[in-house]
Amino acid sequence: MPGPTLDDLRRYALARSLFTPTTLPRAIERLGFVQADPIRAPARAQDLTLRHRVRDYRAGDLERRYPRLAVEEDFFINYGFLPRATQALMHPRTPRTAWPKARWAQAHAVQAFVRERGQAHPREVDAHFQHGKARNWFGGSSNASTQLLDGMHYRGLLRVARREGGTRVYAAHDAHVRPAHDPAAADAALDRLVDVAVALYAPLPASTLSQFVMWVGAAAAPQWRERRRGALLRAKARLASAEVDGQRWFWPAGENPASRRHAPPDGVRLLAPFDPLVWDRRRFEVFWGWPYRFEAYTPAPKRVRGYYALPLLWRDAVIGWANLGWRDGVLTPDLGYVAGRAPRDRAFRNALDDELQRVTDFLTPR
């Protein structure tokens, strides 16, 4: 049987990622991880990602429903939302930076405070303990309590119970305890985490697979960073792969990228900057022939496509981008095209109008 072509890989990526919209819990379970971002332009990245994959999804639904879902906020490939069972695989974490005894004493006192209250907002912790200020990663200062809470969440001592005005409200959490000195259990958990990343972003080039294994073993589960090389070797042996146009590609075993079932999707989709189809910028350029860059943190005079440009997918080609304004219930699109102009056929114009209406519905409160 002939191997897949690059066109096959592109259609396969679209078909497996843009699955038939389902319920919110099932969509998160199928994706495995949804990257979060605080910028709202016109909605947060997690909402823009989920709207394509959840029936009748509205902006903010994930945050509103989060307390009732078997989902956790945590750091995986990046920060975001993932099934509770997957999150448990990463804990208990042993960060590379060890806390001194005094810091641990503070953490245990805060954990007891949060446990007694059931849930606690950072300002309540700060008011009770008066930890003062501390230097942050950006060279400025922030509440020391906020930094302590971040570190406790990362170590599995706290979990995010809900959000209040975008701020994390915490509950006490006892991280899953894995048998000590059990290399087989560690390798099994690490392999499962790698498979979650592969399933989300497949098909992926060999360089991206290596990057994922390094990140999972360095940040998501740093206690296993010395086991990363073995995890990468096992992944390469376990996953299906093929050489396409001089590059090795990987995807979950048992799937066939060359299957005729992977028909090009119809219609227009405006994708989030961190959508699984967009996230790997190198793969994006290989698939669609132009470089996409996220420019929200680029100085305005140097931006090429705009503050929060959403890649515009037409059938199986990303042909442009859109910056969307939303004010007083009115959507204002600013569109750009790689070719310099929009396709002239009526089918595209109708499909674009349909997508803009879907975005309007998505942004309109219930």
pTM of the model: 0.94
Amino acid, single-letter form, for residue 334? D
Q: Where are the domains of the chain?
A: 101-172, 268-363
3-state secondary structure of 114: helix
Please tell me the predicted confidence (pLDDT) of residue 97: 86
Q: Is residue 203 a contact partner of residue 250, using CB atoms and an 8 Å limit?
A: yes
Give tens-digit pLDDT for 315-347.
Answer: 999 999 999 999 999 999 999 999 999 999 999
Into which CATH architecture does domain 101-172 fall? Orthogonal Bundle (1.10)
2-16, 173-187, 192-206, 221-235: which has the minimum mean pLDDT?
Answer: 173-187
Buried (b) or exposed (e) across 21-45, using 16+ Cβ within 10 A?
eeebeebbbebbbbbbbeeebbbbb
Q: Which residue has the higher pLDDT, 143 or 86?
A: 86
Give tens-digit pLDDT for 195-225.
Answer: 999 999 999 999 999 999 998 888 899 999 9
Proportion of the chain above pLDDT 90, given as a percent: 85
3-state secondary structure of 49: helix
Confidence at 109, pLDDT banded by 50, 70, 90:
very high
Q: Which residue has the higher pLDDT, 181 or 32?
A: 32
